Amino acid sequence: MPYFDHNATTPLADCAREAWVRVQTEHWQNPSSPTRAAARARIRLDSYHEALSVLLGGEPAQYVFNSGATEGAHAVLRHWAERLPVGVRIAVAATEHAAVLAAAGRFFAGRIEWLAHDSAGVVSAATVRAAITAGAGGVVVMAANNETGVVQPWSEIAAVCRAEAVPYLCDATQWLGKLPGAGLGASGAWVIASGHKFGAPKGVGFVKLPAGRAEPDFCVQGGGLQEGGHRAGTEDVASIAALSAALVECEQKHVIWESQREGWRRGFERELVATLPGTRIVAAEADRLWNTVFALMPHGEATRWIARLDKRDVQISTGAACSTGKDGPSHVLAALGVSAEEARRALRISAGWGTTEPEWVALLAALREVATELAQ
């Protein structure tokens, strides 16, 4: 079954499953308990903090394991709201994930400055610098968009925020596992991520605290001293092991396969536009993730496309999975100036490392068949 909804979630990687089973079998004890067996579980847990610091940069203690990016966004922005000067505004990209926008709206209601962007949704470092000069006390810009795949200059933005001593929240949920993560940990940004986007189980992710800042008062929830006192609650060591294994494997794939996979995506886009006149690829000329295509189809409601493709055992989506069932067009497309009528014809196609070239070909054939049916 061709699966092209990896930006929503990915299948569990074999290495993640093996790591989960091994740790759950051999190190199931509570790592906070005083026994020797628990101490071995604690050593395992510490090794996964170390693994992230090696892969992404920064220090092991800067990584706080949690349930994922949604929790992370709310925890970080709540922390900012409690620590930044009263009344300060934050600068936010309008194309952020809905969970990040919800957290920003909750903790900074009436105090959000929307960052200007180009036609693809890219926010420049110069724009961020101008927002800080105008008084913004925090910056929120994701690494890569979950719907369009557009990549933001997060490293340049981080450098500006670091120089201005302004906190920067970078949602790396779609970047990690698809593009090299080296540098994220040492960027000085607050970084959030979810493991199920790159082959780990659902319900495990992390927050990376800013480089060179202990943030001793950052506390997601109280009650215990787990995760350096930042998040109380017994750690799910097995799922954390699976996250670490999956991320290590993805990081090893970039050098070998990334250019090949991007070539397949580009070839698919060329054929799609050529054979289905009127189709438009959103942000076609922008720097995008190698796996993502956000297409505005020439006719037919997106839900009808999804249903007919699903009957052919082809799985794609209309956009962010968290928005399924909501009325109205994608807020990302709205921010890019796409009309509501066009947005109703939007399909998000997102491949994975395991997606093959024949599956891209099969998807194109299925789309052609459905286009013919819907035109009748």
Which parts of the chain have pLDDT scores under 50? none
Percent of the chain exceeding pLDDT 70 equals 97
What lies within 8 Å, CB to CB, of 242 at 6+ separation is 12, 16, 17, 19, 20, 23, 195, 200, 201, 204
Is the separation of the CB atoms in 347 and 307 below 8 Å?
Answer: no
Name the β-bridge partners of 293. Answer: 349
With CA atoms as reference, report the closest residue to 330 among 311, 350, 349, 344: 344
Instruction: Report the topology of domain 14-248.
Output: Aspartate Aminotransferase; domain 2 (3.40.640)
At residue 328, the pLDDT reads 65
Rounded to 10 deg, the angle between the 98-107 and 69-83 helix axes is 20
User: Any idea what the Cα angle at residue 82 is, between residues 224 and 194, rounded to 5°?
Assistant: 60
User: What are the pLDDT digits (tens) for 39-81?
Assistant: 999 999 999 999 999 999 999 999 999 999 999 999 999 999 9
So where are the chain's domains? 14-248, 253-375
pLDDT at residue 212, rounded to an integer: 62
Give the whole-angstrom CA distance, residue 192 versus residue 198: 14
Q: Coil, strand, or helix at residue 258?
A: helix
E-state strands within 254-371: 280-281, 292-296, 346-350
pLDDT, one tens digit per residue, over 185-227 is 999 999 999 999 999 999 999 999 997 665 778 988 889 888 9
CATH topology of domain 253-375: Aspartate Aminotransferase, domain 1 (3.90.1150)
CB 79 within 8 A of CB 64: no
Q: How far apart are CA 265 and CA 340, in angstroms?
A: 26
pLDDT of amino acid 257: 86
Q: Give the Cα separation of 218 and 228 in Å (integer).
A: 10
CA proximity to 23, closest of 173, 201, 238? 238
Up-side HSE of residue 221: CA atoms within 13 Å toward CB? Answer: 10
Q: Tell me whether residue 110 is exposed, middle or buried, using C-beta atoms within 10 angstroms of its C-beta: 0 to 12, 13 to 18, 19 or more.
A: exposed
Quote the pLDDT of residue 216. Answer: 78
- Looking up tokens 């009344």 gives 87
HSE toward the beta carbon, residue 348, CA cutoff 13 A: 24
Catalytic positions, written as ranges: 322
pLDDT of residue 258: 86
The model's pTM: 0.95
Report pLDDT for 256. 82
Residue 254 has a pLDDT of 83
pLDDT at 322: 53
Task: Tell me the C-alpha distance between 308 and 303, whole Å.
Answer: 9
Neighbours of 313 (CB within 10 A): 11
For residue 320, what pLDDT is reported? 58
pLDDT in the model for residue 376: 78
